[in-house]
Structure formats: C-alpha cells, structure tokens
Amino acid sequence: MSGAIHDGQMYAVHEELHLPYKSGIMDFHAVCTTTGIAPNRIRYFESEFRDFLGLPPQVTAIDDFDEHQVQLFLQIHRMMVEEGLPVSDVRQHLQRLRESRRQALRIITVTSGKGGVGKTTLSLNLAIAIATTGQRTLLIDADMGLGNVHVLAGLQPHGTILDVVDNRAAIDDILIDGPAGLRVMCGASGIPELADLDPHRLERLVAQVNQAAHHFDVIVVDTAAGIAAQVTRFLRLADDIVLVTTPNIAATLDAYGMLKVVHHTRMRGRVHVVVNLVESNKQATAVFERLRDCAQRFLNVETAHLGQLQKHGSVERANQNRRPLMLEAPDSLNANRIRTMAAALCAAPPLAAPDTDEAARPMDLLVRSFAGATR
C-alpha cells in the first residue's frame, strides 16, 4: 500500500473503539494488554510522538495513560504497522488532526482588576447563554481562594479539582450538570496543595483534564480578580479575554491595570470590555471610551466594547435565590444583553495559533495554571 496519506483520509479511532477501563485511565500493563501493542513498541511511540501525546520535555516515559493517549497509540500503530507509513507521514497526519482540534476549542476567560464587579455572575450566565446555542460548554471556576460559581448556580459539588489530584475521583466524577447542558468544574478554595504539586500528581491531573477537553467546544474560565500570577496564566490561554469593570473609579483604574498586564506580557487574546452596574448606556459608553482611549494612547492595546449590564434588582434577586439570571429572568434586559455578548464572542473568527508546541496543548497549560506551574 502507498505510504502517502490522501487528503481527507482520517482514522476515526476515537469514535469507533470502546476501551474497557475505569475512569479513562489505564496503567502501562493494561494499555499493552488491551491494545495488543507490544511494550517496546509503546515506548517507541512515546519517544517518537511525545509532543502529540502531551509529554513534557523532562518526562521520558509515563505509567498512566488517558483515553486520548491510548487512542493515539492505536492510531499510530495502525498507520505504521498496518499501513506501513513512515514516521514523517504519521507525524504530518497527526499534526493536521491536532490543528483541527485546536481550532475547534475556544477558551474564553472572564476576569477583572477588582473584586465585586459581577465577574462570576457574568461568567455563569455567559456560559449558560453559550450552552443554550448547542455548543458543548464547560465552565471552570478558577478562583482558588473564593470560588463560588456553584453557589450562584444553585449546584452541589460532587468534588473538586483537588479530588482528582489526590486520585480520589476522575475528572468526570467532579463535573456537575448545569442548566442548558452546561458542565461545571469547581475549584478547591483555599487549598495550598494545589500550588505545590509534585510532577507525578500534576501529570495525572493534566491527563485527566486533557481527556475531558475532547468533549467540549467552548471553555469559559472564571478567574480570580486581580493580577496575580495564577490569573495571568489563565489569561495567556484565552482566545478571548472578557474584562469586567464598573463606573466605580477604583474598578476602572484596576481594569486599566489589567490592560497594562495584557500589554506587558503580550497576551494573544482579544480583549473585550463589559461595563457592569451602569445607570445608563451613556454612562457605560463613557467608562469604556475612557479605558479604550488610555489603552490605545499609552499601551497600544486594542479593546472592544462587548456590552454593558444595567444595575437592576433582578440580578441580585437571582444571586440570592441561587438561580442564574438566564433562568430567573430570561426575558430581562440584562439576560438579552448577555445572549448578545455570547453570540458576538462565538461569532469571532478563531485566532491564528502561534507556531509553538505549547500552543497545541491548551488544556495542558490550563491545568498547570490551576497548579501554579509554568511548564
């Protein structure tokens, strides 16, 4: 058979095979037994295709594999052994698959320079609005100190990211079903262990979150407020950064401080400003234009006005009732505006990813951001 891979030729192994293992994780022996691939060949695949398997540079081999990695072993084995393709052709094919998956996954981070501006309320309702359109959406509560997405959503967590780290649960066990098919991942509030994970626990967490990522089209990340290192790591991953502020002068100044961070760290994400708690459209426009003009003049940072939300009792009532605004008052002005914001974000063309290996591993970097790790 020819060694060339024809255009459009795909090996849909992931959809065809159903592997019998618990929680999506298999040890090395189980991988060899279940797939029928010899141990030395598995190790060879690890060596030749480590970048596609998501192995960091300092790790030569691993003993636990997620579903995606096992499917890749089967796919590589089929192409090299059954089809007789050389390594170079297999890498070319896998690169095309990786690029298509990278383009399919959109990461939106919602952040603010100051707390108390309605960031989490917007994150939750924005994620619901996106999920309502039929896109598979995951909302991640990335505020390790004061995570409260589940409170505003009226959800009871089954576990947190720490349970995955400690191997008490798989990633699927801690995801909660939310409104409109939304899935929610709760963070572990105030847990110092997440800031100092040993390499083995970190790799297990990376493997599990990578597995979960294949089931989503959009990931919305609700960061902590401020410019701490953990926040900026999440922002670096974003296709779109939603910066929430209010007419309050301190909130506006802190929003400008966040724009300075975006500028100095050369983040690739598009920056969108939402002005919350406004009395009028005129007030919202004034706040945005002040931010935009300063960002253009002093930072050369482009910002877009994603929209504004009125200061209205319906939002506070929804929060007090632990019921998202999109459900509590679906026909309200603010709910309709959030739908418009969701549509605008999802209609934007995908960003051209930088030509780096890390760009192809957004979920690896996302979970490392939870742990405060840079690699």
**197-245 pLDDT per residue, tens:** 566 666 666 566 666 777 788 999 998 899 887 788 778 888 999 999 9
Whether CATH 3.40.50.300 fits 105-370: yes
**How many Å apart are CA 308 and CA 330, to the nearest integer?**
17
Question: Which pair of structure tokens corresponds to residue 200?
Answer: 């083995």
What is the Cα Rg of the chain in Å?
A: 22
Q: Where are the alpha helices (DSSP H) in 219-270?
A: 229-236, 249-264
The predicted pLDDT at position 356 comes to 46
Greatest C-alpha distance within the chain: 70
Quick one: how far is CA 162 from the chain centroid? 17
> 13-102 with 105-370: one CATH topology?
no
Per-residue model confidence as pLDDT tens digits over 58-104: 556 777 777 677 888 999 999 999 899 999 999 998 887 766 655 56
Taking all residues of the chain, what is their mean pLDDT, rounded to a whole number? Answer: 81
Lowest mean pLDDT among 3-12, 272-281, 298-307: 3-12
Q: Which residues pair with 185 in a beta bridge?
A: 140, 175
The predicted pLDDT at position 99 comes to 63
User: pLDDT-derived band of residue 148, with 50, 70 and 90 as boundaries?
Assistant: confident
Sorted by sequence, the CB contacts under 8 Å of residue 118 that are 6+ apart come out as 244, 246, 276, 277, 309, 315
State the pairing for strand pair 183-185/175-177. Answer: antiparallel
The predicted pLDDT at position 272 comes to 97
Number of neighbouring beta carbons within 10 Å of residue 375:
11
**Domains in the chain: boundaries:** 13-102, 105-370
In one letter, which amino acid is 318? A
Sorted by sequence, the CB contacts under 8 Å of residue 199 that are 6+ apart come out as 58, 59
**How many Å apart are CA 341 and CA 130, to the nearest integer?**
9
Is residue 282 over pLDDT 80?
A: yes
Between 332 and 216, residue with greater pLDDT: 332
Using CA atoms, how far residue 28 sits from 43, 88, 186, 208, in Å, is 10, 26, 30, 16
Running DSSP on this structure, what letter comes out for residue 273? E
Q: Which residues pair with 26 in a beta bridge?
A: 65
CATH number for region 13-102: 1.10.1660.10
The predicted pLDDT at position 138 comes to 94
Question: Which pair of structure tokens corresponds to residue 20?
Answer: 């019998």
* 3-state helix vs strand vs coil in the chain, percent to 5: 50, 15, 35
Region 270-280 average pLDDT: 97
Give first-to-last CA distance, the chain, whole Å: 41
**How many Å apart are CA 262 and CA 284, to the nearest integer?**
22
The predicted pLDDT at position 8 comes to 37
- Do the beta carbons of residue 220 and residue 126 sit within 8 Å? yes
Is residue 12 over pLDDT 50?
A: no
In one letter, which amino acid is 334? N
**How many Å apart are CA 89 and CA 112, to the nearest integer?**
45
